[in-house]
A and B are shown apart, each in its own frame.
Chain A
Amino acid sequence: MDPKRFGFLIDPIYDAHETEEEHPECARRIRAIQAGLDSHRFGPMFKRFQAGSADMDAIQLVHSKEYIQEFRSACQSGLSYFHSYDNCISEGSFEAACHAVGGVLGHLEAVMAEEIDSGFCAIRPPGHHAERNKAMGFCYFNNVAIAARYLKSRYSVEKVLIVDFDVHHGNGTQHIFEEEPSVFYFSVHEHPSFLFPGTGRRSEVGIGAGKGFTLNVPMPPSTGDDRVLPAFDYALEQITEVFKADFVLVSAGFDAYEHDPLAHLNFTEKAYEHFGRQIGAYARAFSKGRVISVLEGGYFLPKLGDLCMAYIEGLVHTL
């Protein structure tokens, strides 16, 4: 595809979500991605976006009014964490989180208005651990889940595929959609016996009408490219047989990288490029090339920018 048709959202507003010193989910992550973007040959070609704030109606597609209010007042009243010590907050965290959702939704709108075909949102805080009414694992609003709901309610998109390759299982996203056959959640992650949040076993396949529309592929510690690539391809083949999505959303986390401090998998840049290619191929075949990827984890700053760009290169190459 033409890189000019690829959107890239990156915005200094996310610095407003300040976390304590040495916290892995820090503002420098976005700067690391900025550096990766600037030094890449595609960097100047992508269409750049900044984030607007999401309105409350959109956030309420997933989270309750009370939860949103509770989070807002926790930030305003100067508390230092929300729901658990993991979830550091500062005064600006609420605003940043609203702009994370807003940034993603703005990107969806740009795709639906055919300004771009696909894109990447370098947002924080991340979202896939956030449950309807519970902040968890550095996540407050479930950006990708809200995006899926927004596509369905605002644009009447019928079927959405969510691919989540963050090293942690996206418990929030899975729980939000596990009873729905119109949103397929596919996650590849480190096995829950060894890593937070302890969910995402193979046996979790969806509930009721949603049975068969959740696919978890847990990987044992030390899994490298040689094992994950065939597993990923096989899973995507299985999905292709039962689910042809109108739109693809990606929870793009880069913490399965071999030097990431938070987990125990050994993926290299090649794995991310491969994910990009395979997701791109699926989206081109079934979803008119419509893929929006949203940043989740990824804590090894010296490589984070390169990993993002490797993934995007794979995507752009195939789309």
Chain B
Amino acid sequence: MFVFNWMTSTPVCVNTQDTLLKAEESMKTHQVNQILVQDAGKLVGIFSDRDLRDAKTSLVYMSSFQGKTLKDLMESAPVVSFMTKDPITLYPTDTLEDALSIFNTHRFNGLPVVDEDARPLGILTKTDLLRAFEGVLGINANTSRLEVLVADKTSDTIRVLEAVKRLGIEVVSLLFEMVRKEPPQLVLLLRLATINPLPVREALEAEGFEILDIRKHWLDLEAFD
């Protein structure tokens, strides 16, 4: 789960001496919402659609008393004046989990990926990250899902997986969720590559595991509203 597997490589870049107009055209042609700004091959900033909107707002204001059109001003304004300078960057070897934390604490929609010499290698956008977790969780694989109540993450999971293994069924993904804190209630969500989860359910129940009854669960949820 590393950034290099999921980033958008060959990022769209402009140079420090490029104008706002050039930056806008680049974004349009490549249909991206963020571009990187580089100086002599090194990353110096990131310029997003949000920056563009803010830039245009202030230029429109200036144009009203300078007697120039917005386009004139965009043709002369350097992109460096409006970009986000020294943005938080990722290395390709950073983990997806780290990227997730950064997105969670800042309001960026994309993070530049650079090498050790600050040369731009790619961008990891929020969309890339969602796509990555969708893939990692096996959401789009053809699976059956089972929610098993477990008392602990290790020994119970081993028992569950051994039962699945005996039946020759492939596990596509495995997640834990603490569904309740007091008293603690832990759920193991299993995605299995089969149309028929029945043998697994029976084997686990025979071992004393409780499996969430989806029919009943849904009725309980409806009783909420």
Contact = CB atoms under 8 A, between A and B. Distances in A.
B142 interface: yes
Of the candidates A86, A138, A199, the one having the most CB atoms from chain B within 10 angstroms of its own CB is A86
A137 to B, nearest CB: 4
Interface stretch (B46-54, B120-128, B152-160, B212-220): B212-220
B143 interface: yes
B62 interface: no
A253 B169 CA distance: 24
Nearest to A87: B195
B215 A168 contact: no
B139 interface: yes
Nearest to A85: B168
30 contacts: A22-B199, A23-B196, A24-B196, A84-B194, A85-B170, A86-B194, A86-B196, A129-B195, A136-B142, A136-B195, A137-B142, A168-B195, A171-B142, A193-B145, A194-B214, A195-B144, A196-B143, A197-B195, A198-B139, A198-B140, A198-B142, A199-B142, A220-B218, A221-B215, A221-B217, A222-B214, A222-B215, A222-B216, A222-B218, A262-B198
A266 interface: yes
Interface in B139-186: 139-145, 168-170
Interface string A20-33: 00111000000000
B47 to A, nearest CB: 32
A196 B195 contact: yes
Determine the main DSSP class of A at the interface with B. loop
B217 A84 contact: no
B60 interface: no
A261 interface: yes
A198 B218 contact: no
Contacts of B198: 24, 261-262
Given A137-B195, A198-B142, A264-B214, 14 more contacts: A85-B169, A85-B170, A86-B194, A86-B195, A171-B142, A194-B145, A194-B214, A196-B143, A196-B144, A197-B195, A220-B218, A222-B218, A261-B198, A262-B195
Interface in A18-51: 22-24
A266 B216 CA distance: 11
Interface residues of B, number: 23
Given A84-B194, A86-B194, A194-B145, A264 B215 contact: yes
Interface residues of A, number: 26
Contacts of A171: 142
A205 B222 CA distance: 28
B202 to A, nearest CB: 9
B77 interface: no
Interface in A180-210: 193-199
A72 to B, nearest CB: 23
A222 B217 CA distance: 9
Contacts of A136: 142, 195
B118 interface: no
B215 A266 contact: yes
Interface string B183-225: 0000000000111101100000000000000111111001000
Contacts of A266: 215
The CB with the most chain B CB atoms within 10 A, among A195, A199, A266, is that of: A195
Contacts of A195: 144
A22 B144 CA distance: 18
Contacts of B219: 222
Interface string A116-153: 00000000000001000000111000000000000000
Shortest 7 CB-CB contacts between residues of A and residues of B: A137-B195, A197-B142, A221-B218, A196-B195, A221-B214, A222-B218, A264-B214
B168 to A, nearest CB: 5
B197 to A, nearest CB: 8
Nearest to B145: A194
